[in-house]
Amino acid sequence: MSACHYNRMLNINLSGRRALVAGVADDGGFGFAIAKALAEAGASVCVGTWPPALNIFMNLLERGRMDESRKLSNGSLLAFERIYPLDAVFDTYGDVPEELRTSKRYRDVGDCSIDGLASRLVSDFGARPLDIVVHALANGPEVKNPLLETSRAGYLAALSASSYSLVSMLQRFGPLLRPDGAVASLTYMASERVIPGYGGGMSSAKAALECDTRLLAYEAGRKWGVRVNTVSAGPFASRAASAIGIIEKMVEYVARNAPLPEALKAEEVGRAMAFLCSPLASGITGTTVYVDKGFHTMGMQTL
């Protein structure tokens, strides 16, 4: 068998599979890169978008502002099968406060809860509509605060949006996944090492996410045959990451001190995620996969 033929056999093929990527609101972050990589592999892709960002996202798409970044290798444009409103801090529509439901950014989107999204997927595609679920969600309202200055409300909000949301999604999407389903999330090395400036309980939320990944892999694996993994991505200067306030310094520091001394590209995370969600990774579950140019291995700054 020639090397060329062998490489073709190992191409990631997600044809006939449907993915949901929760946490896509623009073309500048990991969520978009993951959606694009899944589409490159042949999957149909639905996305969940935070309601306050939904109209802006839709307008950018409709006006062609994302056409360049949507280009796939075959010359076509990445097309989302569905774009759903999703606020993953709410398990059910009843959990959404009335003042938020009636606010300008929420009143026209309907049930944007996790349960509501599950119901919409079943309504649109049938009883078991999904093969892949990607959790690309994180938010900490006090992320700029040191942990010693973080309020209880801010700390719990970080865990709710960034880690418990995965638990809630698996509760509701697990039964919707077809055989050999895969679930994956995004984490960060602050879960295990001190990253000054990454505060507000976000480091704790990422630690919880990684711990939950292991337990959910066991429970969802036994219950539905679903694999659950997480990707620990290096720092990347997305629009969302700008909320940290020091993201450029984080990127520069890692690029200078990693074994591969270069900045991480979003598409590198996207490709790793596509692999983890593909049949090529059928034996991998409960695992944190580092995509950070090897920075997590370092114990000392370059001299």
Q: Which residues participate in catalysis according to the annotation?
A: 188, 198
Residue 167: phi and psi, rounded to 5, are: -60, -50
Sheet holding 80-85, edge to edge: 80-85, 44-49, 18-22, 130-135, 177-187, 227-233, 288-291
Number of Cβ atoms within 10 Å of the Cβ of 102: 10
Number of Cβ atoms within 10 Å of the Cβ of 202: 31
Per the structure block, which two tokens stand in for 170?
């698996």
Q: How many CA atoms lie within 13 A of 90 on its CB side?
A: 22
CA distance 20 to 10: 24
Torsion angle (degrees, nearest 10) of CA 116, 121, 122, 127: -130
CA distance 46 to 117: 11
Q: Give the CA radius of gyration of the chain.
A: 19
Nearest to 225 by CA among 184, 185, 179, 183: 179
Per the structure block, which two tokens stand in for 174?
């697990």
Per the structure block, which two tokens stand in for 27?
């073309």
Length of the chain: 303
Q: Which amino acid is at 98?
A: E
Question: Please, where are the H alpha helices in 105-192?
Answer: 114-125, 152-159, 165-173
Number of H helices and E strands in the chain, helices first, is 10, 7
